[in-house]
Amino acid sequence: MKNLKIAIVSFEAIAGNLEENLRRTEEIARKATKEHADIIFFPETAITGYSSNNNIKPQEIEIHSATINKLCKISKANQMHLFP
C-alpha cells in the first residue's frame, strides 16, 4: 500500500483577482509536486480571495467556467488532487 502525502497550504489570496490567485495556486501545486504530494488543500477563499471591504462584490464560480477548467488543468499537469 502506497503512503499518501498531503500538502496543506496557507496563503493570502488577493480579493477579486482570480487570475493572480490561479497563478499562485499553480505555482504552489508545482512546488508540492516536487515534494511528491498526492493531494493539496488550499484555503477556502484561495481562488476568489476574501475581503471585509463592502466595496468588493463576493464572487461565485460556475462549475463549467474557465476558472474550474484551469484548476482541472493544474491538477492534471501535476498529477494530484486539488481542494481549493
Structure confidence at residue 56 (pLDDT) = 58
Q: What residues does 83 pair with on adjacent strands?
A: 41
Is residue 40 within 8 A of residue 28, CB to CB? The reply is yes
pLDDT score at 40: 94
How many angstroms separate the CA atoms of 31 and 74, rounded?
12
Residues 31-77 pLDDT 10s: 999 999 999 999 888 888 876 665 555 566 777 888 888 888 988 99
Domain ranges in the chain? 6-83
CA dihedral 35, 39, 44, 49 (to 10 degrees): 50
- pLDDT(82) > 90: no
